[in-house]
Chains A and B, each alone.
Chain A
Amino acid sequence: MLSGMFGQLIASDSKETFPGLLPENGAQEVARQRLLVTEAAIGNLTRVFGDNHYSEANNTEVLTDEIDKRKKEELRELSLQRAMGDSARQALSEMPTNPVKEDSPIQPSFGTSHDPHLDYVTALADKYYKERLSGVSEL
């Protein structure tokens, strides 16, 4: 069942890692998965050519669009990082300089929704993910 190079590849593996590598161990499944991925990749690549109508000139536009898109993404990341940096600095400046004493009636509430700093970070993280999901076009 196992033949050719695949057989050699399996033989080179330790028995502890791949005991037998029979179909029930998933070898067939994994190999089939790789074949399917390659088939799909060739299908996608062939479609780009559209029966040999690939043109470098058209593709240059695709490349330019891609570079523009990446630049916008990088700029957005940078501005977001700056915003987060400013917010973090502000949050730090607002923090009390004296540590909370153990017998103090006011105890830190980390991990609860009552912590204003935590609320702020959560909101910022939500905003960050929403922006990431919304795409460049909405900027």
Chain B
Amino acid sequence: MLFSKIIKNISAQKTDQRKANLYRKLLRHEAKLGGEVFGPIQPNTRREFFCLDEYTWVWHEEWVDHNGQHQYMTTRYDVRPSGLVKSQNGHYKNVSDAEARNLLNAAKLYRQRISNELYSFVV
């Protein structure tokens, strides 16, 4: 009785862990696909764009500058009922009309790509 309870518990923990791992992997893969919605990526550049949760979009870019220095920029868009809050490497920035519209378009393209290329098996 106790033994089967322990086995059940371990099994449930393993399943949860597996799901958590898969969630992370899927998110990473989505980010890669998302990075492609803005067009071709330059060599020595890594671009990722993904939906973190229901209210947050993240755009991360890494590149090597002219001096061979590794640079990065993480842009986070927090969606609030009253508007958008953008922070770039921890600093708040304003969002222009064009940028906001681009974000919405990018988000829609992102959904299209992940639905077709990653989650087409979901019933």
Contacts and interface: CB of A to CB of B under 8 A. Distances in A.
A41 B54 contact: yes
Interface residues of A, number: 46
Nearest to A28: B122
Contacts, number: 138
B53 A41 contact: yes
B76 to A, nearest CB: 12
Interface string B108-123: 1011001111111111
Nearest to A62: B83
A44 to B, nearest CB: 5
Contacts of A47: 81
Contact of A56 (B22, B82, B97): B97
Where chain A touches its partner, the secondary structure class is helix
Interface in B2-43: 15, 18-19, 21-23, 25-27, 29-30, 33
Contact of A6 (B86, B95, B107, B121): B121
Interface of A: 1-7, 9, 13, 17-18, 21, 25-35, 37-42, 44-49, 54-56, 58-63, 66-67
Contacts of B29: 5, 9
Given A1-B121, A31-B119, A35-B119, A41 B18 contact: no
